[in-house]
Structure formats: structure tokens, C-alpha cells
Structure 1
Amino acid sequence: MTDSPFSVRGSVLQVSVTGPAGTAVELLDAAGAVVRTGEIDRFGDRLALADLGVTDGLKGLGGLVFRHLEPGAYTLRLDGEEAPVTVLDPFVLPDDFDARVRGQRLDEGYGYVEVRDGALLSVGVSFPDRARWGDGPYPTLVQYSGYKDAKDDFATGDPANENILNTEANLALHCGYAVVGAAIRGSGGSEGSFLLLEPIQGTDGHDVVEAVAAQPWVARKRDGAPKVGMIGRSMPGYEQLLVASYNPPSLAAVTPAAVGGRPYGAAGRPGGVVNVALARGIAGWQVDPVDPPGGIPQVQPPRFAPGGWDDWVAERIAGGDEVCERNQLLRGQAVDAVPAWAFVDQEEGGVLAHADGEEWAARTHVPTLVLGAWQDQESGPWFTDLLDRYPDDTVVRLAAYNGTHEETRFPLAAAQWLEFLAFFVREELPAFPDAAARYLDEVTAYMFPEGLEVRFDHWAGTTFDEALEAYRSSPPLVVWFDNGWAPGRPPGYPYAAFSVAFDRWPPPEAGARRWYLAPDHRLDAAAPGEGARPLGFHYDPSVRPRTSKGDAPDVNHPCVEYDWQPPAGGRGLQFATPPFDRDTLLVGTASVDLWLRSTAADLDLEVVLSEVRPDGWETFVQAGALRASSRALDDERSTELLPWLSYRRDDVAPLPVGEFTLVRVPVPAAAHLVRAGSSLGITVTAAGGNQPHWELDAQWPEGVDAHGRKVVVDVAVEAGMASSVVLPLVHSWVPRDGHPRPDLPPRDALRRQPSRRWRPAGLEVPAPPPEPEPPVPVSVRLKRTAPVRFAARQRNRALGLKQRAARAWVLAMRKVGLPPRVGLAAVVGLLAAGVGLALGRLLRHRR
């Protein structure tokens, strides 16, 4: 299309075109059949009106992208012209790949990398301090995402430029690595439009790695291979999983942190329950870079707005960067991923069906260290779902701990990814230079005023080859316990007391232990007998806060005070095991198997697993959610400890009316030390209020159904329908390093594990009568100054008397056809009237 106003690009599984706005476009396959139609948008005009410093040359222009195409030859027909275009296969490199991609040269500073389809992606290249590390070549790390990775101040080593998402990159720089920040397609100065974790982001990342590895300033390993690895958490972590699945031959290792597996059922839709905060937080701000979605302000500003991820782009364009300017034209073709999380009740065929971390892991051969926090407030704990999906010949290691989404910025986790990269990329003993220590102290001093140190003393006195052999022969899965309660450290600081290593996941050492739900808030080892009445509660999300964050300024601080509230009276069920007689580890996933009946056809449950301490507090361990209509299991992958939900369209089903049905609530993986004298507890409520950032959008938010009736949940606890919980416990272990502290941690010292008073709120209610009116739950409010303990027998007996009296009242009122509360009001009124009449007669008699 010589001298054409249109620019056409055949890409990986897609075709894009830019040109005059409003132009009708048709895409024809090799047989001449029209397979897609569309119209070029008017995004160029929006760019000009957005005060981004763009030139008038973009006015009247726009873009169009056709996605999800099969590889092969096509023809693009537009405005009377036809252009041949080839859709690329993601697993096949073009013949000129070496010349165009590996043959290009990158310099220090901001620039562009050409990828296989000819698109230009923005990158920033930073070298370590030459006075300390010389003129190169350097081992090199790539961070690749839709954040500010390509901005020229992303990796400078200057604490003044710290933005929380570049801590790891700057620590690496101070450790002697060159750092390359790369902006994914549709972000920063890169060409294209954005769809969360689509395949082309993986092939683009492959090409960036290969282009970087070919540079003369990249060091080589002893076998001549480039010393190139990848770093980053959250989106950069997911991008590592995706890029590694295309196995760039020059990629020595990846360290994905704060990641997960399948797209549906994890953080964006745990158990099928909508998490509106995460959906908008990750995908919403990518959709329209100028205005917030639907005009509604979000937590994250639009990309081009002040504080947005691309707020630096306007300055580049105003400074004359014509490539950056032209690359913005396709931004109007970004795809909103939110509907896939918020409005689709299964995972097949959605716009995020491609974003499957388990599928990526299954074809990855790059050495991988997965890092994750069990209580990650953004990505959640589903990183362990990846571990058994990797091929047997792939080097895969795990570093897991309690803590936050950002733990890789801090010593416990930072030491793990630096160590892994030292062995698999740098080929040197791990070290943490003084410059890195000073940087870390300065950027975290507002949280950790006593300073943070990273040490590798355990490798002192060994050669690299000796250390490498010891590292590779050690068990690959390492779990740290009591992060925030390490000996010699202030409470809440990011150091663990001890670690335990395992050979595989789930650990075979973790045996399945089952307890049965019982009255009086008990979990009994013995199965129940016949005749026990169901336990019930009023399903009422309105009494729970949307999140547990409260006024906490930052969950990364030590000893954060959360607003993690106990369930309100009658709005949940709580149970606890007998106290443990010895220290025990909980390691792995759990299953809460409820025989459940509800007055609603569907609802959203959440189960909290906690340590119930002998001092009357409970400490959060993990939470699992479930939309009841998504309860169907994949039998091939489900186990006693892991109810693997199918999320298949044909499996979605309402709860049967008036009948008990088995509902297995999956509790994601966790690891926690349960000290002797403590118990393990579970809490069952409507979903919500247990996470600081997630907002689970539970059904029936006011606790009433479409007819205004209370939504009531009954749980059976008798033989034949014995509700239970099965937990993964390790009774005997040898610490890899460190040792447990004998004393209980101070409340809230364990990172991202809040505490609250243990107040069992679930109350026994009678089985619902056969009439259509739903049962009314009995609600007994407990004094806040005197929490009910599961072992307080006298208090439980008193509570039982109140319950029996309440039950008798409910049944009596129903016999005369009155609702309980109306009946009470009527009786009180009659009594008052009777007393008044009697007093009147007495006074008249005395006269």
C-alpha cells in the first residue's frame, strides 16, 4: 500500500490497521470469505483533545484491531484498497528474526525494541554504577509489564525515584545487574492496544529477551549462554510466566512473584464470587487511557491522567518523540477484561480464557522460582496451583511465606530471588552490597525505622560450585513460618522465625485430618450420630464491612491494625477443634464440606480458617469463598484436601429447594504454625470483610431475597449429612533453618495475619417447618467484654437456656399464626393494656 494513508500490521494471532477515522474495514481469509468487519475508531481526535502534547498530525486518525485469528494469509479490504497480511503463529519465528530482532542494537537509556511483527516497544536500559562494577559486560535482568518499567527514571539507583514497583529493579542495579524495563504492547511508549495477558504479550516478551541477550554489554555464562533473567511481582510476575512459556533460548531464569494459576476462580473471581475491586484495579485502568470506565473514578487513575501508569508519555510526546506519539493510535482498541470476571459465571470462552498460568507452566522449560505470600491482598495464594503443572525436567523452586503482595521488596523474599538469580543467571555466590543495603533502608525507613538487612551468611566459606551443588540438591520447596515474629527482630518486621523444606507439592508429610461440625461451636474428631438438629444463620452481607483494611495506611507496615470484625450475632457459624497438645504445622489446601440448605437458590459463602489462641484471640490463616451455583467439582483433579471446582458452563446449577446438598468450599493453600494450647477454628458467613483490598460482591447484599424475606442458611450436622472440615497437618518436621519461638506472637505481629476476639456467633436453630415461610434465625447478642469461648461450658449452658426459651417462643407464635416479633409486640401491648386497666379499676375503687 505505497503512499497509502493506512498502516497495516499482521501480528501474532491478530491484525491491526491505523488510518483515517471512520473507514470501514473487512478482513478476508485465504478463500476470500469475509471473517471480520469493523471501522477505524477516532482515537486520534481524543488524543488531540486530551492535552497530551500530540501534534495535529493525529487528528482525524484512529485504529482497529482484529483479535483471536488463526495463523495464515489474509487480505485486508479498506476504502477501495486491498492489502495482503499474514497472521503469525506464536510458536514460529519469521525467517528474518535474527537479522531484525537479534541484530538490533540497544543503548543505555530510553529507546525502542523491534519485535517479530515490526512493532516498536519502548524500553529503558540502565547500567550499574561503573565506578563499582566497571564498564561491563553485566548480568542483566528484564522487568516487563504495563507499569512504568520503560520510564527513564525506572531504574536509576536513586531512592528519590522509588515508586514501590521498582524496588526490586533498583536493588538488582545496586547488586551489579544491568536492568531493562520494557513496556508491554499497548502501554507506555509501545505500539498497540491492551488485552490482559494475551498471547502476543508473551511473544513480544520472548523477542525483547532475545534482543537484549544479543547486546555486547550482556555478560556470558561459562557455557557461553547470555546471563539474562527476569524479575518482578504482580503483573511483571504474570508476564514472566507468560514469556517463559514461549521458552526464549537466551532466558536463563525467571522469578515470578505474586502470581496465580487459572483466570477464573482465583483473585478476580475466588470460588466464583465477584471481586469488583481487583477486576477494576487490574483491568479497568487499562481500558480507556483518557477517561475512567463509564466515567466512574477508580482507585487507579486512567493511564494518561496524573498518577496513571502512562502519565509520563505526554512529556515524551511534547518533547518530540514521534514514535511514541504514533504508537498511541491503537489505544482505543484496548479490551475491557472486567466483564470476564464480573458477569460471566463460567470460564469457558471468556475474554480471559487465554490467561491460564497453569497452561503456561505446562510448556515452560526455563528455570523458575515461584515466590508467593499466602495472604497476598491482591493476587491471593493460588501460586501453588502452578507447581505440579511444570514438566518434570524443568527446574522449579518455591519460596512461600505469610505476608503481603509486596514481600519481594523486603529481606525475607528478596534474599530468595537474589539467591536464585545468583546461581542460575550470575554464576556467583549471592551477595548484598552496601549500596543495596543503603537503598533498601532509605526507601523503607518510613515503615521499618530500625533498618532492614539481607544476609547470605550460610554460603560463607564455600566456593560457587560447592554452593550451587548444595542449592540444587536441597529440597526445592521452602516454606517460611512466622514472618513478623523472628528472634531478635522487632515484631512485624519482614523476617521469619524458621523454614521447612519439602520435596514436592502438596507435601506428602501433610496428612488429611477431618473434624466434624457439632453444636456448641465444636469441631469433633468423631462423626455425629442420628437426630442432631441443623445449625443455621442469617446470610447477611450488609453487617460485614466491605474490606478489613479499616484505617490502616499500608498493609506493609509492621503490626498493622486491621478492621477485621467477628461475625455479628446469628450471622454466621463458628467452630473450633480441641486445643492441640503439641506444635503442629498446617501446610496446604483445605476443604470445608458442608451439607447445606438455603432459602435462596444461590448465595456466596466465605469460610475463614484461623488459629484460636488460648488468650481469647483468633489469628487469620486463610479464607476460601464459593458461589454455591459453582459448586460442581472436576473429579479428576479433586482430592480430599482440594475440591477442584470445574467452572464449566454446563455445571452451573442452583441449590435444590428445601433440600440439603453437599457443598465443598475450597480453602486455598496456606502454611501456619499452630502452637500447643491453640485450636484451629473455622467461620462460615456471607462473603466479604476478611480481606483488606478485595471487595467480594456477595449476592443478596442486604440479607433478603427478591421477595424481601431473610436469606437463611442451614447446615446439617447429623449422621448421613455430617458437615466437616479436613485440614493438612504436619506433626513431625525438621526446620531447614531457625526454630519456632515458644511464646505466642503479639497480636497482629504476623505479617498480613490480623487478629480479632474469638466470639462464636453461630447459633443452633430448629429445622425449618414444612410450611413455605422461611425459618427466622435466633439472634443472641454477646457482651463484647465477655467473649464466648468454645470451652466455657457454663456460659454455653446459659446460652442454651436462652436458645430453648427463644425456640419455644417462635413455635408458640407460629401455632397462633403470628410472626415471632409481631407476637412479642402484641403480648407486650396486651400486658401493658391489662396493667393499665387494672390500675384504673384500683384507683376508682379507692375513690
Structure 2
Amino acid sequence: MNAAPDAAAAQRVHVGGGVSQAYLTDARPGTSLTLVDSAGNQAGSGVADKLGSLIVRDLQPGQYRFVGKGISAAPVAVTSKDSPPPNPSLYGQKLHEGLNYVTVRDGISIAATVRLPIGKKLSDGPFPTVIEYSGYQNAAPGDLIVGAAGEKLGVKDPLAPASSVIVGATLAPQMLGFASVSVQMRGSGCSGGDFGLFDDAAAFDAYDIIETLGRQNWVKGGKVGMVGISFSAISQMYAAGTRPPHLAAIAPMSTTDDLYSTGLPGGIYNKGFANTWLKERVQNAQPAPKGGQPWAIARVNGGDKVCKNNQKLRLQTLNAFKLIRDNPTRAAQIYRDRSIADWAEKIDVPVFLVGAGQDEQTGANWVNVIPHLDHNPNVWVNIINGHHFDSLGPQIMSRWAEFLQIFVADQVPHTPPQMQPLGTAVFPAATGAPGQTIPNMRFSNSTSVADAKARFKANTPRLWALFDNGGGSAGFGGLSSPWQKSLNGWPSSTEKMHLNAKGKLGTSATGGEVSFNPNPANRPMNTLKDASTDTAAAWGINPDYNWQQAPGRSGLGFISAPLPSDKIMLGNGSVTLRVKSSAPVTDLQVTVTEVDKAGNETSVSTGVLRSTFRGDGTAPDYYRQVPMADGFNLMTVALNPIMHGFRKGNRIRILVSAPGGDLPAWQFETLRTGGKVVDTIDLSGSFATLPVISGSVPGNAPPCGFLRGAACRPYKPAFNGG
């Protein structure tokens, strides 16, 4: 970071250059500024905001200088994601217990709180160490458990971390006995910079933090791991993709595959959870103390000068909602730059990836990252039916702990004494289910770490699928899976079923046409009676569902004959429809359900698509918009990945309607029809492609409503018979 010469006529500004961008602070507000390259050519321009700052983005590597009235600024170096790492001297910074500020390559300082196992001090190290990295209230230096207890008593601690960062803030140091470093993403909390929504700058901040931590004498083995759920999981994929040498392994839980599939599924804006999440990010990015996160406000008001100084670039944060409005297709550069799949292809450290099959927040499409990790032999994927929180289920937590002990701590796994007390407290608090113990560590009798590692690899499948979560030993609705499938990777086998006349779903096509009047206004937005986007209501053992079928002629149903044998579905599926509409654009939703012999209907998967993104009939095309042609048009609606065991004698059902009403928290900014639009389906070319794998379904399903991640209701035929 450089300061201009102290001249009376000069504005004493500060400048910095990083990955693809350059910034300036401390100018007089309203100053017109130009950024020029080494040849004097203009590379960008703007006006200093109310805080005297400006960021110029999307720059090529090279030397640049800010020019403006009274401005005499030093040149700055801009790099790219492919540039060599900074001089290693950057990583000589020493961290202490508690809150630190770590300088990264562009001069921005990042807040990072070091948390140690209970009763330990740094001199007791070295400790196996993990990072949790997110833009939530993460590096707040208080205690999460104490803060949560105080909140229940009506006494909020603004310095307590958010409950969403429990993995790094509590589980790692208190359950595993690891040191944990809570790293605050730039543009949030007390970190400097602007919030770029997983931009390259944030990815390489993680690289710099990892390299700094790897050189601390209290970090065991000179390498760190990464942990966390949701935001803290997504960030791991970007961080590991930068390939920092001092990264040992990552363990992401409940991530996503990209920002598009969550924010614009099928080309339709998710005005439910995704919108709520973005609003919170925008609010968190406001400069403290007038806005921002509670802990930043408290720190600034308490005299933390570094935290106050770090707010200067906050008004330069890009408008996330404008970015979405201006970039309706997946081909947009903002999505290509943030493609988790692209970063995953660069990950070369061991990965323990966990996700839920019906994640109501980030969605189930996280599984689409799995093939992009095929190059890496040390990847273990775990999928469990259920919601966002279910990635933390006890059966998975046991293997998660083994993985971290072997690949980060470099030790033979053992069952930590604090694990069971925490397990029996955390799960009831989150789900209302009875307390559950976490299974003991496997391989604790290994003769060496090498032996434990070999046994872990030999006895842990590449893909472990935990079915019927909610019907296991924890009691109905509890976090427990009674049966599992072990596979070598994400399955790709499929079976085709045809949508036929009179609402039949069969193995051969019979043809015909059927018309309906899609109307998104005639059902609740969500499957939960609480129509807010607070998803905690979905985590209970028997959520209060209000799942209603599209009434009258507003939705179609197609149902199979009773299944002659069990049918396990795991993988990606779709429903292809030949559609003619009275409207120039139509939005459609398809939903797969199971109807049991008692007449109960359980939700399995759903997918939505705007007709302008219909593709070529074999897959949806989110990269361009194609107007509807006269007559029938092929629309292939991608289903959210399916994970469900259909039992012998039960029936498969496919519903077609306007979007909405079949998910707990995703809501769609869909086209209003007033029930006047007529969509006609040509059944001769309409079919479902379903991901069926071999195997039988053991035992009985939990009672209606207790299968985690699945709503349940009485079956009622649609007007067309299905």
C-alpha cells in the first residue's frame, strides 16, 4: 500500500493493486479519477465516492496509476489468477490468539480470529489447524455458545459469531481439539475491501491467508485444512482451486454448483431464499458503524481503528441485484468467473464433500460438481436425503472427524471425549429430535497414520448415499439413515417413462394432447405453512407442511401403475415436454412424487424452466434465450438431482404446473397468467428421464411427513386423471 508525497496541493491518497483490479482511498469525495496503464492509455475512470474511494475492475495484468486533480499516487501492480504468487515475505506475519488483521497481496487487511481448544494457549502448540472462511459474522471474536445462550435469555452479544459458522467456531476447537481460524471475507465485518460475491480477489485472499497460517509455529505440520457449511463450504471450493501449497485438505458441507442454479434456476429469479441471502449480503457490506454486521459496528464504536479504516471501500461494492437483472443467462461473465466447477477441476488436495439431497437453501445441484473432481483420487462424497443442516448428521460427522484427523492432523483417528456431549446437544437444538450420539472413529487401532490412511481409503466409498434419513435409529424424523448405498461415483444410468393420455405414466408412448391453465397465484409459495424464507422450520422432525396440489385445470398429473419391484433413484433426471402456449413465454414446473399404497404422496424432486431457455429438447439451454416458435416446442426441464427409494407396490407420479408451491424456501419470480394462459402438451413427444440404479429398498418408509427433506400429503388425482 502506497501513500502519495506530502505536498500541499496533493491529496494524500492510498492505492493498491490486486487480482484484476486496482483501488484508491482517501481522495476528496467527488474527485474525478482516471486509471492509466504504463503507456498512458486510459484503463478506467470514475468519481471518488462519499468515502473518497474508487475501484476499477476487470483489468489486465500490468502497471497502472491513478490520475486526477491534486492526485499524486504511486503506481500499482495488477495481477491475474494465473500470475505467480506474491513474494513469500508477505507471509511472514505473526498471528496471536483472538482477533488479528492479516494483510493480503493488494494491501487489504482481512480480519481473522484464532480460536484454540478449551484451556489451551499458543505455547501449548503446535495444533492441527483448520480455517473457516465466509462473509457471515465469522471473525467476531466472541464465543458462539455463550452468545447463543445469552440470546435465549434476551441478551444479545454483538461480538458473538453467527450460528451458521458453528463448524469452525465451535465444533473444530471444542469437539476435535483443533485450532480454528475464523476468516472474514473481504467487504464484510471488520475486513477491508469490497464484497465481490466470490470474485477472484476473495479466492486469492484465501490463498494468502492459508500461506500465512502455514508458516505459524503453532500450526502442526505447516499445513491447514478448511471446514464449514454453506457459505463456508462454497468458499472452500474457490480457495482450494488456487492451489495454495500449505493447504492440507478441505471438507465442504452443503455447497452449491454455481450461483446461477441457486439464483436463477431454469432462468427464473429465485425471489425466496436466494433473494433473502443476497439482501443480507448487501446489508452486511454497508460501512460500519452506520451499517454492516453487528460485530463491526461494535468494534468501530469501541475504538478499533483498523476495523474503521477497513470500511473505506464498502460503497464500491457492486449492486448484486443489478448484476442479476443485467445478466439473465449462464453465459454471462459474472457466472463464468465464479464457476465452482471450473475451480473444482484445479483442486488437488483431499476433499470430503457433503450435501443434502433436498437442500432447501443452496439446492441439490451441488452434485454437478462431482464429475469435475474425477481427476482427484482423494475425494469422498456423501449425500443424505434431507435439508441444509442434515450435512451435519451424526453418521457423516463421524467420518468427517476421521478425515480431518488423518488428512489435516496427520494422526491416527480417535474418538474425542467432547464429541458425544456436543453431539447430544447440537442435534436436538437444531431439529427437536432426541439427542443422538456420533459413532466412534473407525481405524483407531491403526498402527500408524499411514496405516489409518490406507484403511480409510480402502473402506470409505467414493460416493456414500444415505437413504431414508428420518426413518432410522434416531426415531421418526430424526437425523439417522437406516440404509446406504456405496458407489464409485455419481451415477449416470437412466430409464425413460412416457407421459400418456388419461394421466398415465408408462414405459411406452400412446400419444394425444392435453391442455391446462398454469397459474402461479393459486397455491402457497412454499410447502411450509410459514411462508417466510427462514428455513429453520424445515429442519424439525415433522415440519408443518402446507403442500397443496395445483387446483382444477391449473396442473396436470401423470401416474404409473404400481411398481412390480423396488426402484432406487439416484442421479440427474429431466422431463421433456412438447409444449404449445397461448403466451409468447411460459414458465413451467415439473415435480416427481411417490404415491404409496395407503394413498399418501411424498415429494421427491422438482424443476422449473422458462420457455425461452428451453434448449434443443435433450437438455435445457441456460446460455442463450430462444423465442417460442409457432406450434409445439421442446422444453427439457432439468430436475433437481433425485435421491429416493421407491418401494414395490407404490407409484411414481409426475406433475406439471406453473412454478411454485413444491419447495420449502425457493420462490419464483414467475410470469403472472391470471389463469388465462393455455398450455398444451403433445404427449407423443413428452417423457421423463429418471436416474434409476440397481438395488432393493429395505424396510419400511417413515410415516408420512417424517422423511427428512420431503413434504407429504394425501394423493388426489389431477383433472386429467393422473
Same fold (TM over 0.5): yes
The 8 Å contact of residues 607 and 639 in structure 2, kept in 1 or not, is answered as yes
Q: Secondary structure at the match of 1:417?
A: helix
Shift of 1:627: 0.8
Offset of 1:172 from its aligned partner? 1.2
Give the equivalent residue in structure 2 for 1:546: 525
Residues 460-493 of structure 1, C-alpha deviations (whole Å, 9 max, x = no match): 544454442132134311111011111x321111
TM-score for the superposition, normalised by structure 1: 0.78
Residues 1:408 and 2:391 are matched in the alignment: yes
Whole-angstrom CA distance in 1 between matches of 2:382 and 2:121 = 30
Give secondary structure in 2 for the equivalent of 1:231. Answer: strand
How far residue 406 of structure 1 moved from its aligned partner, in angstroms, is 1.7
The letter of the residue matching 2:5 is T
One-letter amino acid of the structure 1 residue matched with residue 711 of structure 2: P
2:17 is equivalent to residue 10 of structure 1: yes
The change in CA–CA distance for 1:414 and 1:457 in structure 2 (over 3 A counts) is: closer
- Within-5 A mapping of 1:592-741: 592-633=575-616, 643=619, 645-649=620-624, 652-657=625-630, 659-703=631-675, 710-717=676-683, 721-732=684-695, 741=698
Q: Any idea what SS the aligned residue of 1:595 has? A: strand
Deviations 1:343-383 (A, max 9, x none): 53312335444111111112221221221111111110111
- CA drift at 1:130: 3.4
Cα offset, 1:249, TM superposition: 0.6
Counterpart in the other structure of 2:506: 524
Question: By how many angstroms is 1:145 displaced?
Answer: 0.8
Does 2:446 align with 1:438?
A: no
**Counterparts in 2 of 1:158 and 1:334: CA distance versus 1, 3 Å:** closer
State the secondary structure of the residue aligned to 1:332.
Answer: helix
**Alignment of 1:745 onto 2:718:** no
- Cα pair distance change 1:459/1:385, threshold 3 Å: same
Kindly provide the CA deviation profile for residues 729-752 of structure 1, in whole angstroms up to 9, marking residues without a partner as x. 12337xxxxxx5522311111111
Superposition deviation, residue 279 in structure 1: 3.8
Q: In the alignment, is the contact (CA less than 8 A) between 1:14 and 1:87 conserved in 2?
A: yes
Shift in Å, 1:441: 3.1
SS at match of 2:641: strand
1:160-190 deviation per Cα after TM superposition (whole angstroms, max 9, x unaligned): 3674312212111121110100111111111
SS of corresponding position for 2:391 = helix
CA shift in 2, pair 1:360/1:457, >3 Å: closer
Q: Secondary structure at the match of 1:166?
A: helix
Partner of 1:749, secondary structure, is coil
The alignment status of 1:188 with 2:189, answered yes or no, reads yes
**1:216 alignment partner AA:** N
The whole-number CA distance in structure 2 between the counterparts of 1:550 and 1:498 is: 30
Alignment of 1:148-187 (within 5 A): 148-153=137-142, 160=149, 163-169=162-168, 170-174=170-174, 175-187=176-188
SS at the partner of 1:723?
Answer: strand
Q: Deviations over 1:661-686 (max 9, x none)?
A: 22111112121111111111111110
| Cα distance per residue 1:640-676 (max 9 Å; x no partner) | xxx2x33223xx112223x112211111212111111
Q: Whole-Å Cα distance in 1 between the matches of residues 607 and 512 of structure 2? A: 26
Q: Secondary structure at the match of 1:129?
A: coil
Residues 462 and 95 of structure 1, relative CA distance in 2, 3 Å threshold: closer
Q: Which residue of 1 aligns with 2:515?
A: 536
Is 1:63 paired with 2:73?
no
Q: Does 1:485 align with 2:471?
A: yes
Matched residue, 2:573: 590
> Are the counterparts in 2 of residues 244 and 254 from structure 1 also a CA contact under 8 Å?
yes
From the superposition, tell whether residues 179 and 646 of structure 1 become closer, same or farther in structure 2 (CA, over 3 Å): same
Measured after TM superposition, the shift of residue 90 of structure 1 is 2.8
CA distance in 2, matches of 1:607, 1:158: 43
Q: CA deviation at 1:517?
A: 1.0
Pairs within 5 Å for 1:230-269: 230-264=226-260, 266-269=261-264
Q: Answer whether contact 1:571 1:685 (CA < 8 A) is retained.
A: yes
**Residues 749 and 466 (structure 1), Cα distance of their counterparts in 2 relative to 1, 3 Å cut:** farther
Alpha carbons 1:143, 1:230 under 8 Å: kept? yes
CA contact (8 A) 2:433 2:474 kept: no
CA distance in 2, matches of 1:108, 1:328: 24
1:248 Cα deviation from its structure 2 partner: 0.7
1:21/1:393 Cα in 2 relative to 1: closer, same or farther (>3 Å)?
same
Give 3-state SS (helix, strand or coil) of 1:139's partner: strand
Q: Which residue of 2 is the match for residue 843 of structure 1?
A: none
Aligned to 1:88: 79
Give the residue type in structure 1 aligned to 2:83: V
Verify the 8 A CA contact 1:513 1:728 in the aligned structure 2: yes
Deviation, structure 1 residue 604: 1.3
The one-letter code of the counterpart of 2:489 is: R
* Structure 1 position 397, deviation (Å): 1.8
Question: Given residue 655 of structure 1, which amino acid in structure 2 is its aligned partner?
Answer: M
How many percent of aligned residue pairs carry the same amino acid?
A: 30
Normalising by structure 2, report the TM-score. 0.91
Cα–Cα, structure 1 residues 701 and 375, in superposed 2: closer, same or farther, change >3 Å?
Answer: farther
The 2-side partners of 1:513 and 1:303 are apart by 55
1:366-381 mapped onto 2 (5 Å cutoff): 366-381=349-364
CA pair 272-421 structure 1, distance change in 2 beyond 3 A: same
Query: Is the contact made by 1:168 and 1:408 (CA closer than 8 Å) also made in structure 2?
Result: no
CA offsets per residue over residues 776-828 of structure 1, 9 Å max, x none?
xxxxxxxxxxxx8x5xxxxxxxxxxxxxxxxxxxxxxxxxxxxxxxxxxxxxx
Q: How do 1:277-288 and structure 2 match up within 5 A? A: 277-288=272-283
Tell me how large the CA RMSD over aligned residues is: 2.4
Q: Distance in 1 between matches of 2:350 and 2:719?
A: 48
Cα distance in 2 between the residues matched to 1:746 and 1:322: 57
Letter in 2 for 1:712: V
1:68 alignment partner, SS class = coil
d(CA) in 1 for partners of 2:219 and 2:680? 64
8 Å contact 2:240–2:347 — kept in the other structure?
Answer: yes
1:118, distance to aligned residue in structure 2 (A): 2.0
Q: Flag the structure with larger Rg.
A: 1
Matched residue, 2:64: 74
Where does residue 32 of structure 2 map in the other structure? 24
Structure 2 equivalent of residue 454 of structure 1: 438
Match of 2:154 in 1: none
1:260 counterpart SS class: coil
Give the 3 Å change call, closer, same or farther, for CA 368–94 of structure 1 in structure 2.
Answer: closer
* Structure-to-structure mapping, 1:285-364, within 5 angstroms: 285-289=280-284, 310-342=293-325, 344-364=327-347
SS in 2 for 1:715: strand
Deviation string 1:700-753 (CA, Å, 9 cap, x unpaired) is 2533xxxxxx10111112xxx3311121112337xxxxxx55223111111111
Deviation at 1:694, TM superposition (A): 1.1
- How far apart are 1:567 and its partner, in Å? 1.6
Question: What SS does the aligned partner of 1:143 have?
Answer: strand
Give the SS at the match of 1:195: coil
Count of matched residue pairs:
694
Q: CA deviation at 1:217?
A: 0.9
Rounded Cα–Cα distance in structure 1 between residues aligned with 2:121 and 2:566: 48
1:203 CA displacement:
0.4
Selected match of 1:139 from 104, 128, 135 = 128
Rounded Cα–Cα distance in structure 2 between residues aligned with 1:95 and 1:165: 32
Ranges in structure 2 where 5+ consecutive residues have no aligned partner: 150-159
